[in-house]
Amino acid sequence: MKLKTWQVGEPVLRQRARPLTTDEILSSRIQELIESMRETMHDAPGVGLAAPQVGLSIQFVIIEDQLDLIQKLPPQQVAERERRPVPFHVVINPKLVMEGPETVEFFEGCLSLPGFTSIVPRARCVRVECLNERAEPCVIQAEGWYARILQHEIDHLNGILYLDRMKSRSFSTQDNHARHWKNKSIAEVWNELGE
């Protein structure tokens, strides 16, 4: 069942979500939520969805970066973003650690703020300790676009939107992004914006 995606301005998007217990994770309610959120994310289409985005203030995220989404991008952008397919998985009660000082900047969007995008600096490499949908401990090491997805979605669990981290001079509608910036490197964008 497709769920309503809550939009910027809803208080749930600005609250720190609570952790889930083992019993909650293994409940039929959460197992059904996984499938409903997956359908909602695919329908958008998106690469991640956090529970607060469907009105639930719990530390629960789903992620999947499908090959067909990546293949729509020019090869140069795929390489620049270090974007590779990421299989569907669930991240519960995550603890995020930035690995190293290197940051990268790319445009990001959000299903809770449709129609807009902005350049957001993020750590290039991260480590996440979490639980999976079976309440088993997991450690995720990620770099490139996958690391960005994790940071974006885990931010949702802490009441943070990309708006809080964006480079405001780059804020744009999706239409204007497609017209002016879509096929340009971040360096070219900053050159034109005078940054």
Catalytic site positions? 153
Nearest CA to 35 out of 62, 67, 70, 4 is that of 62
Distance from C-alpha of 22 to C-alpha of 134, rounded to nearest angstrom: 8
Are 161 and 91 contacting, i.e. CB atoms less than 8 angstroms apart?
no
* CA-CA-CA-CA torsion sign (1, 91, 82, 13): positive
d(CA 7, CA 13): 8
The DSSP symbol for 12 reads G
- The beta strands (E) that lie in 20-115 are given as 48-50, 60-65, 86-98, 103-108
Strands in 172-173's sheet, in edge-to-edge order, are: 103-108, 116-123, 172-173
